[in-house]
Amino acid sequence: MADSREVDKEYLSKLEYRLNQLKDPELNQPKPEQIIKDISGRKDLQLFNLITGADLKFEDNFVDDKPIQASWLKKKAFPSTVAVSAVEIIPLVKHEQLELEQLKLEEVEKGVEENGESK
């Protein structure tokens, strides 16, 4: 019986302590250092999850192509360097339409210069 009263006293003292914490607004306010620490920890966690997290996948069925996993950050920062499938691993920038047209134009100009020099 004495043990149960002792347990009750401990329980009541803990309840009183918690009640006093709720009543006192200064004890309930977060400290600026704690806020900064919490925000910093959350930022680090979000960056870690952004870089190493699972990427969203698409549901297309390719015959021979296997999807390549690229991080979301790489897709947003350098989209011209991200290949969608194994076939597209060749440099994507070298196969742009404008570059192909520019190469054709340079070949035509080079041919005109050679014809002009041969006369």
Question: For residue 93, which of 81, 105, 84, 110 has the smallest C-alpha distance?
Answer: 81
What lies within 8 Å, CB to CB, of 50 at 6+ separation is 71, 72, 73
CA distance 60 to 67: 9
Domain positions in the chain: 1-32
Q: Could you give the CA distance from residue 18 to residue 95 in angstroms, rounded to a whole number? A: 68
pLDDT of residue 74: 74
Share of the chain above pLDDT 70, in %: 67
Quote the DSSP letter at residue 29.
Answer: S
Bridge partners, 85 (sequence order):
67
Name the amino acid, one letter, at 92.
Answer: L
Taking only the tens place, the pLDDT of each residue in 43-98 is 999 888 888 776 655 555 555 555 556 677 777 777 777 766 666 665 555 567 77
Position 8 pLDDT exceeds 80: yes
